[in-house]
Amino acid sequence: MNGVPPCYNPAHHHALPEEAVEALPQFFKAIFDTALSIKPDALVEFCPCGTAYSFFTMPFMNMSVASDPKSSWQVRLKGKTLKALMGDSVAYFGDHVDMSDGGDDFASTIGVGGVVGTNFTWPVGSARRPRRDLTPEKEKIWDKWIRIYKAEMLSRGEYLGTLYDIGFDRPEAHAIRKNGNMYYAFYAPQWSGKLELRGLEKRAYRLTNYETGEALGTVRGPVATWTAQFEKHLLLEAKAE
């Protein structure tokens, strides 16, 4: 997907062998244009499956993907990177949640504004890999998070990638603006201390944990601080009053 060798086949009548390399993006353009001509709302995704993306193919897809991440960190890192390269008009698929930490970390995809997905098998016992079985216990978890995803639809929000530095800010933080409200996602093995809520307007906001529905009070922009304690993640909505 990311490259082809020069072509020396005389039957192809290349002016130069490098023409095969240079024309590769046109192959993906043909797929994209043909798909949309048949179905204007078709989803076109190219997955490099664990390898690096080529920016030559990026104009010819409307959903990028975490491409077989090995951890939740990679889900979030690739989300931030691909949104920076491709913008919010292109959806980002966090890939199958089964590849995240614990195999159930939907919060890492939802918090960066990604599209959720899973690779479960059903009925229980029908797969060669039992760990993919959608057991009744797992079904409750899946139901909870997919409901949260559908309720918030942060994949249609504006990812504000410049508000927090993924390398230096602690805890790791991501922010999304949607319908005048701000959504924050914080990640750390454990955290106890102050959080900085950036990107707010100079007004009051009602703060809610949108995973649990717990009301947390009010804060005021343009920059607010909030003291919190959490493990793994904390998902906050700041709703303008």
What the chain holds in terms of domains, given with CATH numbers, is: 16-148 (no CATH), 160-240 (2.60.40.1180)
Rounded-to-integer distance, Cα 36 and Cα 173, Å: 36
Rounded-to-integer distance, Cα 199 and Cα 96, Å: 30
Q: Which residues contact residue 218 at a Cβ distance below 8 angstroms, ignoring those fewer than 6 apart?
A: 204, 205, 206, 207, 241
Residue 88: band (very low, low, confident or very high) from pLDDT cuts 50, 70, 90:
confident
Angle subtended at Cα 226 by Cα 111 and Cα 191, rounded to the nearest 5 degrees: 65
Residue 45: band (very low, low, confident or very high) from pLDDT cuts 50, 70, 90:
very high
**Which tens digits make up the pLDDT trace of 177-210?**
999 999 999 999 999 999 999 999 999 999 999 9
Q: What is the pLDDT of residue 133?
A: 87
Rounded-to-integer distance, Cα 97 and Cα 138, Å: 12
**Which tens digits make up the pLDDT trace of 97-127?**
999 999 999 999 999 999 999 988 888 888 7
Pairing of strands 63-65, 91-93: parallel
Cβ atoms 92, 155 nearer than 8 A: yes
Asked whether the CA dihedral 50, 52, 53, 56 is positive or negative, the reply is negative
Q: What is the pLDDT of residue 35?
A: 98
Residue 78: band (very low, low, confident or very high) from pLDDT cuts 50, 70, 90:
very high
Cβ neighbours around 120 below 10 Å, total: 18
Q: Which of 71, 153, 73 is nearest to 113 (CA)?
A: 153
- The answer to whether residue 9 scores a pLDDT higher than 80 is yes
For residue 222, whether the previous peptide bond is cis, meaning omega lies within 30 degrees of 0, is yes
pTM above threshold 0.85: yes
